[in-house]
Structure formats: C-alpha cells, structure tokens
Structure 1
C-alpha cells in the first residue's frame, strides 16, 4: 500500500541528500509513503532517468531517533554483508545514521519487486520457501569483524502479560522456562525479525507452483546469535497470523530444509517460549499492524487467543 504525495512528503534536507546519491541527470519525481513500518517512516522514491524511464529506491527515516543509530548501523552492515550472497536483500545506496545531512537519521536502499502475502490461502506452499530462505540466511558466514552486534531480548519473566482467560498454571510454567540463563549456542548471522510481513513474493501465472521469494526487507535488527531465535520468531508470527499449528510446523520444516537447531529439545523450547512470551506484551500493536495490512479479522482478542493456544502447545509438547 502507498500514498502518493509528489516529493512534498520528503523533508528538504533529506530530499537534497537523496539527490546527491543519484546518477548524473537523474532526479526525484515522486515519493510514496509505504505502510507497514512500525519503527520508522518508509517511502518509495521514484527517480526519473536521463533516458525518460524511472527506477525506484526506498528511504527509511527514523523520526524517533532513540534507537536510530544502532538500527541503521545494523541495517547498513547487513546490506553490505549480503551483497553478492544470493540472499535477496536490498542494495545499500547511502546512510546518514547521525542526521548530519538529513533532518532525521536516514538510509537509502534499492527497491525490490514483489509484495507481501499474509492471507491464509496458500500458506502451505509458502512455509517451505520461508524455511529454505532462513536456512540460506543462517548459512552466511561473516568474518568476525563483519558480524552484526549480539542479539538482545527485552522480555523478562516480570514483563510477560498473561492473556485473559489463559490457563494460569501453563503460563506460569512457560515463564519459568525463561527465568534461567540462556542455553549455550553456536553463533549465526540472524535477520532477527524474519516473518511473512518482511518477505516479498512474486507469483506469476499459472499460480502457487510458480511462487518465489523476491526480497527480504527490514534488516534493522540484524544480529549475531542462535539460529533458534530467528526460527522461533517466525514460528510465533505464523502461529498468530494463520494458526498455532503452523508455528509448530515451521520449526520442523526449517530442520527438513537443512537448518540446524539446538540439539536438545529443552534448548529449542527455551527460544520458542521466549519469543512467544515477548508477543504477550505486543498483542495490540501486532493485531493493529496486521489489520492495517488487510487481515481485518485479526483483532487483539483473536491474536491473544492464538498466542495462548500456541504457548499451550509448546508446553504440552513431549520432551
């Protein structure tokens, strides 16, 4: 989705900065606000070329600069690292992470073709693609100096919000899982926000059989940490977006695709539960975002019920 606003939606200093990173003879002819961004403003920037054609870029602007520098540095590093790897990420054009040239911290990158696909129909065909793509991300092996910062988790046992009507004993047991220290892990390059809303798809005729991922966006949380953390995050998103069973299934499909999760089931459970409980603090925000993307039936109540069912399934699983 996009709102067309000419070039008036981009602030003057930022527009001038964008212009300095275009090719000779190019100019910005139109910008569009892209919906779906939570932590930053996202705009498609249409650039007029000398030959009369156009090309598109994407501008990310952090009006709230509280975490802008860290986020932009993570994204800059990730995009530079992924160039030439085969992982379909945007190309880095320019970054002003301290707002030296722009009104606010900003990053300019290439625009990727495709669209997000969030509907329930066809999820069984998309899940294997997601799993294979996540395996490819985790296969990237940066040199130590190129690794992104260590992962962070903000949820604690004291910040978890038990959904209304949930079984208190089950949730108390789940909270106990994350009270202890994190299990040991082998570090991997992580997207850290890998879920259907950050993937772009192309589905040309004749239909789902031709479905392919054309892009992975929003690398502002790129991290170094356990592969299970990325897997768990996608599991929770699939559970809330489609059905709790898909959350459980994605972990299996990831392993079938060649992914290497933690060896012990207790260690895998730790990361799955930790990510699921983190969503307990964001049910309203998550449901609002998905409704804005067209899933109007996903009210906070329904998302909360699915989260409860997913947590319960994790705690009831054998092993």
Structure 2
C-alpha cells in the first residue's frame, strides 16, 4: 500500500507546494538579493505549529540553490541545538569546517572560524529559534556578512521579548512572513498530493481525506500523521484499502505518536516542568517553579521557564487555565482535541 514512505513524513519537502504560494513568493523576494551577491534582510516566519513554516523555508531555499549552487544551507533545529556553541557548530558543519572541533573548543574560536569561511554565502535556517537559550548566537551570525538568516518561530512578540536590546536592535528590521492555519480544503489538497505520491492508487477516498482534514483542525503535521498511521494499519492488516474503521483508529494513534515524539524532544528543564505538571494534575505557576527548583541542580530563571511553558502550550502539550494570578497549568486532554 505504501510505495514511498518518505512522502508520508512530516519533514518531507515536496517538489511543489500547494496553498502557500504567497508565502513562498514573499520569502523568495526576501532572499533574492543573494543572486546578485548582496545580503538579504533576516527573514522571520511566524505562525502556529503545523502550518508549513519549516517546509516552505526549506523548499524556498532549495529553489534558491538551484539558481545559485554556491550557497551553503545550514538547517538548525534550535529545540535540540539551543546553545551558541551548537548553532555555530552546525553552521561550520555546513561548510565542512567542523572536523577538528571538540566540546572544549571555545565558542569565540568557532565564531572566528566561521568568519574566515569565504567560499560563498551561507543561509542559516534557524527552526524553533524561540528555543535558543543563548540569543547572542543571533548577534554573532548577524555580524557575519556572508551569513543570511531565516528564523522560524510561533509568535513575534514572544520571540522578540526573549532578546536583549543588542540582538533586538539588530534584527528588528527583518522581513516577516505570517502563516495562518490551513483550511479544510487546503489540507485535503495537501493530503491528495501525498497520497498520490506515497500510496498505491485508490486506497483512500476523498471523503476519507476530508475526514482526516477535519480531525486535524488546520494542522498539516497531524493530518499527514493520520494518513501515515492509517496506511500502516491497513498494511499490517493486509487490507486492500484504508477502511473507515482503520481511519477511526488512526486519528488518536497519530495524535499520541506526535505527542510522544514532542515530549521526547523536550530539553531537560522542559521535561522536568512537564513531569511536575503531569504528576500534579493541575498546578499554579508558583508551586510549579518551587517544585522544579527542588528537582534540578542549576535552575533557569523565571523568564526562561515562562518561555518553556509558552512553547509547550504552542505544541498542545499543556494548557494554561485562567488569567494571571489565578492561572494554572495542566496537561492537554487529547480526547477534546
């Protein structure tokens, strides 16, 4: 039933994109100066999860490389690579200059190595850039004339609130590309393309794709995950097509798998917060911070913890209930999503 499993991955970048032409055009215009040996403005891609920000960034930069093969591209997921050292290291990897870098290598030395790279421009796609703990890495990269930034985050105000004045003043003039939730028809079109390329013919109906799109509520990540889960279930059962019964089982399975993957990707301090909330059921911020500080040796600041919690809210892991002083946190009930 599955003829190309890559197409059913959330991180697959298609040869053509649907329903994001305006966003592609906007980003293409922003990075176009590279074709004329000029440095573009920093590009910021904002929007909720599952709206195609990462896909469009990689697709658009890939099209640029077709016209300008000398461009090196460094993709950095700041959820995992959240320090200045790791960001600089990933960019050195893209230039094949990381072979003799060790954990003990000073960060300033990494910056100097990157500064001396002169084989051509580098485009750094910084995904989940609001997860960076050392935002001076952005200041570093902005100082390098041969490095151009494409930064991906959920909300502009929360991202810029995390910057110090020096970083904020450097990046404030960048271009913004805003992404909204997909509509049901748009998700159906995306799923149709994935089904055509990734599955055998006629194994899923348009009505079933619409059911998936409705269940995903504008989140392409969830929609593609449900389609993949349904195809795998049908395959294991040796069904010739995806049945409605299989689809009904695939929806919660896909959501559970996405949630598990997201939780596994939490960095140590986020995971502590998540575990405290899970154990408490529902907990006020003050009590949450106190318990967190009891469990870690080197606690983060309250501001950093608020950023962590906000990110987990964006990813539907937890929800904030109430306003300000009366606010509490609890895990999201998957059954109501």
Q: TM-score, normalised by structure 1?
A: 0.26
Question: Rg bigger for which structure?
Answer: 2
Q: Which has the higher strand share?
A: 1
Q: Could you say which structure has the greater relative contact order, defined with CA pairs below 8 angstroms and 6 or more residues apart?
A: 2
